[in-house]
Amino acid sequence: MDGLQEILYTLRQNKLRTLLTAFGVFWGTLMLVLLLGAGKGLQDGVYASFGTEVMDFIVVYTETTSLPYKGQGIGRHIDLTHTDMAELKEKVPHIRFMAGDNQRVGVAIVHEKRSGSFEVHGVPDVYFNIKEDLPLNFGRILNPLDQRDARKVTIIGSVVAERVFGKSVNPIGELVRVNDVLMKVVGVFHDKGNRGRDSERIYIPHTTFQKMFGSSNEIGAIWLRPTVGSDGLKLESDVIRLLQQRHNVSPDDKRAIRSFNMAEPAKMVNGLFIAINSLIWFVGLGTLAAGIVGISNIMIITVKERTREIGVRKALGATPFNIVSTLLMESVLITSVAGYSGLILGVGVLEVIAFGLRSVGAELPFFQNPEVDFQVAVTAIILLVMAGALAGLMPALRASRIMPTEAMRAD
């Protein structure tokens, strides 16, 4: 307590200098927190633009051949089948989940006097292990019993629900006509993918789709997810190669059997944010370092002003440890209080911005939910304390080496 009282007395004697020194650390911390929060908001916004898709799915689909191969000409349409899926499951390793997806566009969905035209997708229940982040507003997803018994049930997108039932209506248990077939609504989902247009879909069991539209063996697209830790790009290559062999497609034909691998854009986005976060930390820590250098300079001045005092203390028996610890405590105190104040204000500003965006219902493109991770906040505090100690260390060591006789002769 005596040491703390001495430090506070010294700071009160130099109020303006202490205030300006602390402001440098305060401002550096505030800027670092705001930059990190803005970077997190940008990252959340970009990932939200991916919708509800996981970051490792692969979808394979077909078009027509563009090169002749083994006596077969160009323009031949390739059709995927359940047999293809069986071969993939047997011969291609590291497939975690695999599901076929058949679809029809422009299908009439009718409920009483309201109707609309939407996409109908016939999928097995395992499809929702690939699209596992699909959020439900009401009800449930399709399950294995729906698939096994070819039940006449459907889950509909939020846009479909609003069109045929109205806003804020829970349609669970209601019947809709899908291509003139009565089906029970068991779930409502909201998919942000494709800028919200994926919420204009409805999903029905694949077996039900086969009976309704007569697609017994054909598959419109194959969705896959690799096993955890495996190379999704290699899996994609192996799948394409096997399908090309099965359908007599040239290995150089890039149009006949095509694919989209979410791992590629996800890798690019992750790399981009690593670079952005590195730049943010560089700028923020540089601003903070300027404040820390200010503290070091002020401590040098403080040691010079208190040279006679330090000499008297050493003559009275003060050890070098006593001298160093007192000056270090002063440096750490200024740094910690100023830095913590900047941290609290920065977090407060970010919370106000996030609350304002939520209150007005604003959905900014590529920016949402700015925040600072708790671990980052703790790391910043630890860095501040260490920086404060380092800022005062050299002046404190210099003070501890002052000889009492030299100190008494100082001006």
pLDDT digits (tens, 9 = 90+) for 263-314: 787 777 778 778 887 887 787 777 767 767 776 766 666 666 566 666 666 6
SS3 291: helix
Q: How many helices (H) and strands (E) does the chain have?
A: 13, 12
Residue 114 phi, psi (nearest 5): -110, 145
Beta-strand pair 58-62/114-123 = unpaired
- Of the listed ranges 284-293, 319-328, 352-361, the one predicted with least confidence: 319-328
Which residues, other chains included, contact 1 with Cβ-Cβ below 8 Å and sequence gap of 6+?
Answer: none
Distance of alpha carbon 220 from alpha carbon 121, whole angstroms: 10
Q: 322: burial class by Cβ within 10 Å (0-12, 13-18, 19+)?
A: middle
CB neighbours of residue 227 within 10 Å: 14
Rounded to the nearest 10 degrees, the angle between the axes of helix 320-360 and helix 2-13 is 70
Separation CA 24–CA 6 (nearest Å): 23
pLDDT, tens only, 164-212 = 998 888 899 999 999 889 999 999 998 876 666 788 899 999 999 998 8
CA angle 391, 392, 393 (to 5 degrees): 100
If pLDDT is split at 50, 70 and 90, which confidence band does 405 have? Answer: low
What are the C-alpha distances in Å from 378 to residues 11, 26, 33? 27, 16, 12
Contact 375, 321 (CB under 8 A): no
**Taking 90 as the threshold, does the pLDDT of residue 43 lie above it?**
no
pLDDT tier, 222 (very low <50, low <70, confident <90, very high otherwise): very high
Please say if the pLDDT value at position 1 is more than 70.
no
Using CA atoms, how far apart are residues 59 and 193, in angstroms rounded to an integer? Answer: 15
Of 314 and 352, which is predicted with more confidence?
Answer: 352
Distances (CA, A) of 79 to 82, 119, 126, 210: 10, 20, 21, 16
- β pairing state of 114-123 and 201-205: parallel
Q: Where are the domains of the chain?
A: 2-50+267-409, 58-261
* Statement: residue 399 has pLDDT above 70: no
Q: How confident is the model at residue 329 (pLDDT cuts 50, 70, 90)?
A: confident
Q: What average pLDDT does the segment 203-227 reach?
A: 89
**Dist CA 282 CA 188 (whole Å):** 45
Q: Are 256 and 65 in contact (CB under 8 A)?
A: yes
pLDDT band at 44 (very low <50, low <70, confident <90, very high): confident
Who contacts 11 (Cβ-Cβ below 8 Å, separation ≥6)?
A: 18, 330, 334
Helix residue ranges per DSSP H, 92-190: 127-130, 144-148, 158-165
Question: If pLDDT is split at 50, 70 and 90, which confidence band does 123 have?
Answer: very high
With b for 16 or more beta-carbon neighbours within 10 A and e for fewer, the 347-366 pattern comes to beebeebbeebeeeeeeeee
How many C-alpha atoms does 334 have within 13 Å on its Cβ side? Answer: 35
The Cα–Cα gap between 110 and 122 comes to: 18
The separation between CA 388 and the C-alpha centre of its own chain, rounded to angstroms, equals 32
Q: How far is CA 192 from CA 72, 95, 243, 356, in A?
A: 42, 26, 31, 22
Residue 322 reports pLDDT greater than 80:
no
DSSP 15: H
Mean pLDDT throughout 384-395? 70
Question: 77-102 b/e with 16+ CB inside 10 Å = b?
Answer: ebebbeebbeebeeebebbebbbbbb
